[in-house]
Structure 1
Amino acid sequence: MSFKKLIQPLKDSLKSKGFDAPLPLQKEILSKIKGGSSLFVTAPKDSGKTTSIIISVIQKLKTPFEDAPRALIFVKDKQAALDLELEFNAFKRGTDLRVYCAYDEHNIDIQRDEIYNGVDIVIATPKRLNKIFFLNGINLNKLQMCIVEDAEFLFGNNNLAEVTRTPESIGKCQYLVFSDKFDARFERWQESFMYNAQVIKQ
Protein backbone atom coordinates (compact mmCIF):
# COMPACT_ATOMS: atom_id res chain seq x y z
CA MET A 1 0.00 0.00 0.00
CA SER A 2 1.42 3.38 -0.99
CA PHE A 3 1.02 6.58 0.97
CA LYS A 4 -0.99 7.99 -1.96
CA LYS A 5 -4.05 6.07 -0.75
CA LEU A 6 -4.05 7.70 2.70
CA ILE A 7 -6.29 10.55 3.81
CA GLN A 8 -4.86 14.00 3.07
CA PRO A 9 -3.97 15.01 6.67
CA LEU A 10 -1.88 11.84 7.00
CA LYS A 11 -0.16 12.45 3.68
CA ASP A 12 0.65 15.99 4.79
CA SER A 13 2.06 14.79 8.13
CA LEU A 14 4.18 12.10 6.49
CA LYS A 15 5.53 14.56 3.96
CA SER A 16 6.43 17.07 6.67
CA LYS A 17 8.34 14.33 8.49
CA GLY A 18 10.24 13.33 5.38
CA PHE A 19 8.50 10.00 4.73
CA ASP A 20 8.26 9.67 0.95
CA ALA A 21 7.39 5.97 0.66
CA PRO A 22 6.47 3.10 2.99
CA LEU A 23 9.18 0.91 4.49
CA PRO A 24 9.13 -2.74 3.38
CA LEU A 25 7.17 -3.83 6.48
CA GLN A 26 4.64 -1.03 6.00
CA LYS A 27 4.20 -1.89 2.35
CA GLU A 28 3.35 -5.45 3.40
CA ILE A 29 0.98 -4.79 6.28
CA LEU A 30 -0.80 -1.45 5.78
CA SER A 31 -3.17 -2.76 3.12
CA LYS A 32 -3.89 -5.88 5.23
CA ILE A 33 -4.74 -3.73 8.22
CA LYS A 34 -6.87 -1.42 6.09
CA GLY A 35 -8.74 -4.50 4.85
CA GLY A 36 -9.60 -5.47 8.42
CA SER A 37 -7.25 -8.42 8.94
CA SER A 38 -6.05 -9.31 12.42
CA LEU A 39 -2.27 -9.69 12.49
CA PHE A 40 0.67 -10.85 14.57
CA VAL A 41 3.52 -8.70 13.25
CA THR A 42 7.07 -9.63 14.24
CA ALA A 43 9.89 -7.44 12.99
CA PRO A 44 13.07 -5.90 14.37
CA LYS A 45 13.31 -2.43 15.86
CA ASP A 46 13.28 0.52 13.43
CA SER A 47 11.31 -1.46 10.85
CA GLY A 48 8.31 0.88 11.13
CA LYS A 49 6.01 -0.99 13.53
CA THR A 50 4.97 2.01 15.64
CA THR A 51 4.45 4.26 12.63
CA SER A 52 2.34 1.50 11.07
CA ILE A 53 0.10 1.53 14.15
CA ILE A 54 -0.32 5.30 14.00
CA ILE A 55 -0.98 5.42 10.24
CA SER A 56 -3.47 2.54 10.40
CA VAL A 57 -5.46 3.93 13.33
CA ILE A 58 -5.70 7.46 11.93
CA GLN A 59 -6.56 6.15 8.46
CA LYS A 60 -9.34 3.96 9.83
CA LEU A 61 -10.91 6.44 12.27
CA LYS A 62 -10.32 9.62 10.21
CA THR A 63 -12.36 12.03 12.38
CA PRO A 64 -13.96 12.18 15.86
CA PHE A 65 -17.18 10.21 16.23
CA GLU A 66 -19.41 9.92 19.29
CA ASP A 67 -17.78 9.55 22.72
CA ALA A 68 -16.72 5.89 23.07
CA PRO A 69 -13.20 4.94 21.94
CA ARG A 70 -12.80 3.09 18.65
CA ALA A 71 -9.14 2.15 19.08
CA LEU A 72 -7.39 0.75 22.16
CA ILE A 73 -3.62 0.38 22.28
CA PHE A 74 -1.92 -1.51 25.11
CA VAL A 75 1.59 -0.37 26.08
CA LYS A 76 4.15 -1.32 28.71
CA ASP A 77 4.08 1.65 31.08
CA LYS A 78 3.44 5.36 31.57
CA GLN A 79 6.47 6.45 29.56
CA ALA A 80 5.54 4.24 26.61
CA ALA A 81 2.01 5.68 26.70
CA LEU A 82 3.23 9.28 26.74
CA ASP A 83 5.77 8.61 23.97
CA LEU A 84 3.12 7.06 21.74
CA GLU A 85 0.70 9.92 22.46
CA LEU A 86 3.36 12.39 21.30
CA GLU A 87 3.79 10.43 18.08
CA PHE A 88 0.04 10.36 17.48
CA ASN A 89 -0.23 14.10 18.07
CA ALA A 90 2.46 14.70 15.46
CA PHE A 91 0.60 12.65 12.83
CA LYS A 92 -3.06 13.45 13.53
CA ARG A 93 -2.99 17.15 12.72
CA GLY A 94 -6.01 18.07 10.63
CA THR A 95 -8.14 15.17 11.90
CA ASP A 96 -9.21 16.40 15.37
CA LEU A 97 -8.99 12.82 16.65
CA ARG A 98 -8.92 12.66 20.46
CA VAL A 99 -6.09 10.62 22.01
CA TYR A 100 -6.01 9.76 25.71
CA CYS A 101 -3.44 8.02 27.93
CA ALA A 102 -4.52 5.86 30.89
CA TYR A 103 -1.70 4.69 33.17
CA ASP A 104 -1.28 3.59 36.76
CA GLU A 105 0.40 6.70 38.20
CA HIS A 106 -2.57 9.01 37.54
CA ASN A 107 -5.78 9.49 39.58
CA ILE A 108 -8.22 6.86 38.34
CA ASP A 109 -11.34 8.94 39.01
CA ILE A 110 -9.97 11.78 36.89
CA GLN A 111 -9.09 9.32 34.12
CA ARG A 112 -12.56 7.80 34.21
CA ASP A 113 -14.20 11.23 33.94
CA GLU A 114 -11.92 12.37 31.12
CA ILE A 115 -12.57 9.21 29.10
CA TYR A 116 -16.30 9.60 29.71
CA ASN A 117 -16.12 13.10 28.18
CA GLY A 118 -15.20 11.52 24.84
CA VAL A 119 -12.11 10.00 23.23
CA ASP A 120 -11.35 8.20 19.95
CA ILE A 121 -8.05 6.49 20.79
CA VAL A 122 -7.05 5.17 24.23
CA ILE A 123 -3.43 4.29 24.93
CA ALA A 124 -3.35 2.29 28.16
CA THR A 125 -1.39 0.04 30.45
CA PRO A 126 -3.28 -3.25 30.91
CA LYS A 127 -3.88 -3.04 34.66
CA ARG A 128 -5.18 0.52 34.56
CA LEU A 129 -7.45 -0.17 31.58
CA ASN A 130 -9.09 -3.09 33.38
CA LYS A 131 -9.52 -1.10 36.60
CA ILE A 132 -11.26 1.69 34.68
CA PHE A 133 -13.41 -0.86 32.85
CA PHE A 134 -14.57 -2.55 36.05
CA LEU A 135 -15.48 0.87 37.43
CA ASN A 136 -17.76 1.25 34.39
CA GLY A 137 -15.46 4.07 33.30
CA ILE A 138 -14.97 3.08 29.67
CA ASN A 139 -17.34 1.84 26.98
CA LEU A 140 -15.68 -0.76 24.74
CA ASN A 141 -18.79 -1.50 22.67
CA LYS A 142 -17.68 0.75 19.80
CA LEU A 143 -14.13 -0.62 19.66
CA GLN A 144 -12.91 -1.35 16.13
CA MET A 145 -9.18 -1.92 16.76
CA CYS A 146 -7.39 -3.51 19.72
CA ILE A 147 -3.60 -3.25 19.45
CA VAL A 148 -0.57 -4.28 21.50
CA GLU A 149 2.64 -2.34 20.91
CA ASP A 150 6.01 -3.96 21.74
CA ALA A 151 4.19 -7.03 23.04
CA GLU A 152 7.25 -8.51 24.77
CA PHE A 153 6.18 -6.69 27.93
CA LEU A 154 3.14 -8.95 28.24
CA PHE A 155 5.17 -11.80 29.71
CA GLY A 156 5.77 -10.14 33.07
CA ASN A 157 3.66 -8.72 35.92
CA ASN A 158 0.57 -10.70 34.85
CA ASN A 159 0.10 -8.41 31.83
CA LEU A 160 -0.79 -11.30 29.51
CA ALA A 161 -3.76 -12.27 31.67
CA GLU A 162 -4.85 -8.62 31.92
CA VAL A 163 -4.87 -8.16 28.15
CA THR A 164 -6.44 -11.58 27.51
CA ARG A 165 -9.36 -10.49 29.69
CA THR A 166 -10.27 -7.54 27.45
CA PRO A 167 -11.63 -9.46 24.40
CA GLU A 168 -14.12 -11.14 26.73
CA SER A 169 -15.80 -7.74 27.07
CA ILE A 170 -15.93 -6.61 23.44
CA GLY A 171 -17.63 -7.79 20.28
CA LYS A 172 -16.19 -8.10 16.79
CA CYS A 173 -12.87 -6.29 16.62
CA GLN A 174 -9.63 -6.17 14.65
CA TYR A 175 -6.62 -7.32 16.70
CA LEU A 176 -3.04 -6.27 15.93
CA VAL A 177 -0.05 -7.49 17.94
CA PHE A 178 3.41 -6.03 17.26
CA SER A 179 6.60 -7.50 18.69
CA ASP A 180 10.25 -8.16 17.91
CA LYS A 181 9.66 -11.91 17.78
CA PHE A 182 6.76 -14.37 17.96
CA ASP A 183 6.30 -15.99 21.36
CA ALA A 184 4.72 -19.44 21.67
CA ARG A 185 2.44 -18.10 24.39
CA PHE A 186 0.57 -16.13 21.72
CA GLU A 187 -0.76 -19.48 20.45
CA ARG A 188 -3.41 -19.26 23.18
CA TRP A 189 -4.76 -16.15 21.47
CA GLN A 190 -4.65 -17.92 18.09
CA GLU A 191 -6.91 -20.57 19.59
CA SER A 192 -9.44 -18.03 20.86
CA PHE A 193 -10.09 -14.44 19.80
CA MET A 194 -7.27 -14.29 17.18
CA TYR A 195 -7.93 -17.67 15.57
CA ASN A 196 -8.07 -16.15 12.06
CA ALA A 197 -5.05 -13.84 12.46
CA GLN A 198 -2.21 -13.81 9.94
CA VAL A 199 1.39 -14.04 11.16
CA ILE A 200 3.72 -11.60 9.40
CA LYS A 201 7.45 -12.08 10.05
CA GLN A 202 10.37 -10.00 8.86
Structure 2
Amino acid sequence: MPFKKLHPHLKDVLENSEISFPTALQKASIPTIKSGANVFCIAPENSGKTTTLLLTTLNKLKCEAVGIAPRAVVLVENNDNALQLFDTFVKYTKRTSLRVYVADEKQHIDLLKSEIFEGVDILISTPKIMNKLLLLEGLNTTQLKIFNIDDADFLTKNTSTSDLMLITQSIHKCQFVMYAEKMHPTLKRFENYFMQYAKTVSI
Protein backbone atom coordinates (compact mmCIF):
# COMPACT_ATOMS: atom_id res chain seq x y z
CA MET A 1 0.00 0.00 0.00
CA PRO A 2 1.63 3.30 -1.09
CA PHE A 3 0.13 5.24 1.85
CA LYS A 4 1.99 3.10 4.38
CA LYS A 5 5.38 4.39 3.24
CA LEU A 6 4.53 8.09 3.30
CA HIS A 7 5.66 10.63 5.91
CA PRO A 8 3.70 10.22 9.19
CA HIS A 9 2.20 13.72 8.84
CA LEU A 10 0.72 12.80 5.46
CA LYS A 11 -0.76 9.60 6.81
CA ASP A 12 -2.42 11.64 9.57
CA VAL A 13 -3.83 14.10 7.02
CA LEU A 14 -5.23 11.26 4.93
CA GLU A 15 -6.74 9.61 7.98
CA ASN A 16 -8.36 12.89 9.07
CA SER A 17 -9.72 13.28 5.53
CA GLU A 18 -11.09 9.74 5.72
CA ILE A 19 -8.97 8.61 2.78
CA SER A 20 -8.09 5.02 3.56
CA PHE A 21 -7.23 3.48 0.22
CA PRO A 22 -5.26 4.80 -2.78
CA THR A 23 -6.90 5.14 -6.16
CA ALA A 24 -5.63 2.95 -8.99
CA LEU A 25 -3.46 5.85 -10.17
CA GLN A 26 -2.02 6.48 -6.72
CA LYS A 27 -1.27 2.82 -6.18
CA ALA A 28 0.66 2.67 -9.45
CA SER A 29 2.26 6.12 -9.51
CA ILE A 30 3.32 6.97 -5.95
CA PRO A 31 6.06 4.29 -5.75
CA THR A 32 7.28 5.24 -9.24
CA ILE A 33 7.48 8.94 -8.34
CA LYS A 34 9.15 8.14 -5.01
CA SER A 35 11.86 6.28 -6.95
CA GLY A 36 13.05 9.63 -8.29
CA ALA A 37 12.33 8.94 -11.96
CA ASN A 38 10.78 11.45 -14.34
CA VAL A 39 7.15 10.38 -14.69
CA PHE A 40 4.15 10.94 -16.95
CA CYS A 41 0.97 10.30 -14.91
CA ILE A 42 -1.85 9.79 -17.38
CA ALA A 43 -5.36 9.30 -16.02
CA PRO A 44 -8.89 10.64 -16.47
CA GLU A 45 -10.47 13.36 -14.37
CA ASN A 46 -11.22 12.49 -10.72
CA SER A 47 -8.67 9.70 -10.61
CA GLY A 48 -6.56 11.30 -7.87
CA LYS A 49 -3.89 13.14 -9.87
CA THR A 50 -3.83 16.28 -7.73
CA THR A 51 -3.75 14.32 -4.48
CA THR A 52 -0.88 12.26 -5.89
CA LEU A 53 0.97 15.50 -6.69
CA LEU A 54 0.42 16.80 -3.17
CA LEU A 55 1.46 13.61 -1.41
CA THR A 56 4.60 12.95 -3.45
CA THR A 57 5.75 16.56 -3.32
CA LEU A 58 5.32 16.91 0.44
CA ASN A 59 6.85 13.49 1.03
CA LYS A 60 9.87 14.49 -1.10
CA LEU A 61 10.38 17.56 1.09
CA LYS A 62 9.86 15.51 4.27
CA CYS A 63 7.16 17.94 5.37
CA GLU A 64 9.66 20.47 6.71
CA ALA A 65 11.14 23.81 5.69
CA VAL A 66 14.78 23.93 4.60
CA GLY A 67 16.78 26.97 3.48
CA ILE A 68 15.19 29.82 1.54
CA ALA A 69 15.19 28.68 -2.13
CA PRO A 70 12.22 26.72 -3.53
CA ARG A 71 12.66 22.95 -3.49
CA ALA A 72 9.45 22.16 -5.34
CA VAL A 73 7.59 23.84 -8.18
CA VAL A 74 4.06 23.24 -9.45
CA LEU A 75 3.14 24.78 -12.80
CA VAL A 76 -0.53 25.27 -13.62
CA GLU A 77 -2.49 26.65 -16.55
CA ASN A 78 -3.77 29.91 -15.09
CA ASN A 79 -3.92 32.11 -12.02
CA ASP A 80 -7.26 30.74 -10.81
CA ASN A 81 -5.85 27.21 -10.83
CA ALA A 82 -2.78 28.43 -8.95
CA LEU A 83 -4.86 30.00 -6.18
CA GLN A 84 -7.10 26.94 -5.92
CA LEU A 85 -4.14 24.58 -5.67
CA PHE A 86 -2.55 26.82 -3.04
CA ASP A 87 -5.65 26.44 -0.86
CA THR A 88 -5.40 22.66 -1.20
CA PHE A 89 -1.69 22.65 -0.31
CA VAL A 90 -2.43 24.71 2.81
CA LYS A 91 -4.81 22.00 4.04
CA TYR A 92 -2.05 19.42 3.70
CA THR A 93 0.74 21.54 5.22
CA LYS A 94 -0.99 22.66 8.42
CA ARG A 95 1.11 21.87 11.48
CA THR A 96 4.28 21.70 9.37
CA SER A 97 6.95 24.34 8.82
CA LEU A 98 6.59 24.15 5.03
CA ARG A 99 6.17 27.47 3.22
CA VAL A 100 3.87 27.33 0.20
CA TYR A 101 3.79 30.38 -2.07
CA VAL A 102 1.63 31.21 -5.07
CA ALA A 103 3.07 33.63 -7.63
CA ASP A 104 -0.17 35.57 -8.08
CA GLU A 105 -0.07 37.23 -11.49
CA LYS A 106 -2.25 40.07 -10.13
CA GLN A 107 0.63 41.18 -7.91
CA HIS A 108 3.58 43.27 -9.10
CA ILE A 109 6.55 41.17 -10.13
CA ASP A 110 8.85 43.04 -7.72
CA LEU A 111 6.59 42.08 -4.82
CA LEU A 112 6.70 38.43 -5.91
CA LYS A 113 10.49 38.56 -6.08
CA SER A 114 10.89 40.07 -2.62
CA GLU A 115 8.48 37.62 -1.00
CA ILE A 116 10.13 34.62 -2.65
CA PHE A 117 13.55 35.81 -1.45
CA GLU A 118 12.25 35.70 2.14
CA GLY A 119 12.00 31.91 1.89
CA VAL A 120 9.78 29.47 0.02
CA ASP A 121 9.67 25.67 -0.07
CA ILE A 122 6.93 25.13 -2.67
CA LEU A 123 6.24 27.57 -5.49
CA ILE A 124 2.97 27.44 -7.44
CA SER A 125 2.98 29.44 -10.66
CA THR A 126 1.93 29.71 -14.28
CA PRO A 127 4.69 29.17 -16.86
CA LYS A 128 4.50 32.83 -17.89
CA ILE A 129 5.07 34.22 -14.40
CA MET A 130 7.80 31.74 -13.51
CA ASN A 131 9.67 32.51 -16.72
CA LYS A 132 9.37 36.22 -15.98
CA LEU A 133 10.78 35.68 -12.48
CA LEU A 134 13.74 33.79 -13.93
CA LEU A 135 14.42 36.48 -16.53
CA LEU A 136 14.46 39.09 -13.77
CA GLU A 137 16.71 36.92 -11.58
CA GLY A 138 13.95 36.69 -9.03
CA LEU A 139 14.08 32.93 -8.55
CA ASN A 140 16.81 30.53 -7.42
CA THR A 141 16.32 27.08 -8.98
CA THR A 142 19.52 25.45 -7.69
CA GLN A 143 17.76 23.66 -4.81
CA LEU A 144 14.81 22.24 -6.77
CA LYS A 145 14.10 18.58 -6.06
CA ILE A 146 10.77 18.08 -7.86
CA PHE A 147 9.05 19.98 -10.66
CA ASN A 148 5.38 19.16 -11.25
CA ILE A 149 3.07 20.20 -14.06
CA ASP A 150 -0.57 19.84 -13.04
CA ASP A 151 -3.20 19.12 -15.71
CA ALA A 152 -0.53 19.45 -18.39
CA ASP A 153 -3.08 19.06 -21.19
CA PHE A 154 -3.10 22.87 -21.42
CA LEU A 155 0.40 22.76 -22.92
CA THR A 156 -1.07 21.33 -26.12
CA LYS A 157 -3.28 24.32 -26.86
CA ASN A 158 -1.54 27.56 -25.93
CA THR A 159 1.78 29.37 -25.94
CA SER A 160 2.95 28.16 -22.52
CA THR A 161 5.19 25.54 -24.13
CA SER A 162 7.82 28.12 -25.07
CA ASP A 163 7.84 29.48 -21.51
CA LEU A 164 8.16 25.95 -20.16
CA MET A 165 11.11 25.17 -22.40
CA LEU A 166 12.92 28.32 -21.26
CA ILE A 167 12.22 27.47 -17.62
CA THR A 168 13.49 23.90 -17.82
CA GLN A 169 16.70 24.95 -19.56
CA SER A 170 17.71 26.72 -16.34
CA ILE A 171 17.09 23.69 -14.12
CA HIS A 172 19.53 20.87 -13.48
CA LYS A 173 19.32 17.67 -11.43
CA CYS A 174 15.62 17.82 -10.78
CA GLN A 175 12.81 15.27 -11.00
CA PHE A 176 10.00 16.19 -13.41
CA VAL A 177 6.47 14.82 -13.02
CA MET A 178 3.75 15.64 -15.52
CA TYR A 179 0.05 14.95 -14.93
CA ALA A 180 -2.43 14.82 -17.81
CA GLU A 181 -5.63 13.15 -18.96
CA LYS A 182 -4.12 11.98 -22.25
CA MET A 183 -0.63 11.42 -23.62
CA HIS A 184 -0.61 14.00 -26.41
CA PRO A 185 2.20 14.00 -28.99
CA THR A 186 3.15 17.45 -27.68
CA LEU A 187 3.74 16.05 -24.20
CA LYS A 188 5.58 13.00 -25.55
CA ARG A 189 8.07 15.29 -27.30
CA PHE A 190 9.24 16.62 -23.95
CA GLU A 191 11.10 13.32 -23.56
CA ASN A 192 13.69 14.80 -25.91
CA TYR A 193 14.23 17.73 -23.57
CA PHE A 194 13.63 17.64 -19.80
CA MET A 195 11.62 14.38 -19.45
CA GLN A 196 14.51 12.09 -20.36
CA TYR A 197 14.06 8.41 -19.56
CA ALA A 198 10.58 9.16 -18.23
CA LYS A 199 8.38 6.36 -17.02
CA THR A 200 4.69 6.41 -17.92
CA VAL A 201 1.95 5.44 -15.50
CA SER A 202 -1.35 5.25 -17.37
CA ILE A 203 -4.74 4.33 -15.93
Take 1:44 and 1:156, find their aligned partners in 2: how far apart are those partners?
18
Tell me the percent identity. 37
Find the counterpart in structure 2 of residue 114 from structure 1. Answer: 115
Take 1:157 and 1:23, find their aligned partners in 2: how far apart are those partners?
30
Take 2:119 and 2:198, find their aligned partners in 1: how far apart are those partners?
30
Cα displacement (A) at 1:104: 2.1
Q: Secondary structure at the match of 2:167?
A: helix
Take 2:61 and 2:11, find their aligned partners in 1: how far apart are those partners?
15
Q: Which amino acid aligns with 1:43?
A: A
Take 2:60 and 2:32, find their aligned partners in 1: how far apart are those partners?
12
Aligned: 1:88 with 2:84: no
Q: Which amino acid aligns with 2:48?
A: G
Find the counterpart in structure 2 of residue 180 from structure 1. Answer: 181
Find the counterpart in structure 2 of residue 39 from structure 1. Answer: 39
Q: Secondary structure at the match of 2:55?
A: helix
Find the counterpart in structure 2 of residue 24 from structure 1. Answer: 24
Unaligned runs of 5+ in 2: none
Task: Tell me, yes or no, if the aligned pair for 1:9 and 1:93 is still in contact at 8 Å.
Answer: no
Find the counterpart in structure 2 of residue 156 from structure 1. Answer: 157
Deviations 1:1-58 (A, max 9, x none): 4312111111111111110121111010101111101111110011000000000011
Q: Secondary structure at the match of 1:44?
A: coil
Greater Cα offset, 99-108 or 64-73? 99-108
Deviations 1:71-92 (A, max 9, x none): 0110011110111111111111
TM-score, scaled to structure 2: 0.96
TM-score, scaled to structure 1: 0.96
Find the counterpart in structure 2 of residue 139 from structure 1. Answer: 140
Greater Cα offset, 156-165 or 132-141? 156-165
Find the counterpart in structure 2 of residue 68 from structure 1. Answer: 69
Residue correspondences, number: 202
Q: Which amino acid aligns with 1:106?
A: Q
Dislocated runs of 4+, deviation >4 Å: none
Take 2:25 and 2:156, find their aligned partners in 1: how far apart are those partners?
25
Take 1:124 and 1:156, find their aligned partners in 2: how far apart are those partners?
18
Task: Tell me, yes or no, if the aligned pair for 1:13 and 1:93 is still in contact at 8 Å.
Answer: no
Find the counterpart in structure 2 of residue 2 from structure 1. Answer: 2
Take 2:11 and 2:200, find their aligned partners in 1: how far apart are those partners?
28
Find the counterpart in structure 2 of residue 123 from structure 1. Answer: 124
Find the counterpart in structure 2 of residue 98 from structure 1. Answer: 99
Task: Tell me, yes or no, if the aligned pair for 2:99 and 2:120 is still in contact at 8 Å.
Answer: yes
Task: Tell me, yes or no, if the aligned pair for 2:134 and 2:167 is still in contact at 8 Å.
Answer: no
Greater Cα offset, 192-201 or 27-36? 192-201
Take 1:48 and 1:124, find their aligned partners in 2: how far apart are those partners?
21
Deviations 1:123-155 (A, max 9, x none): 001111111111111100111111100011113
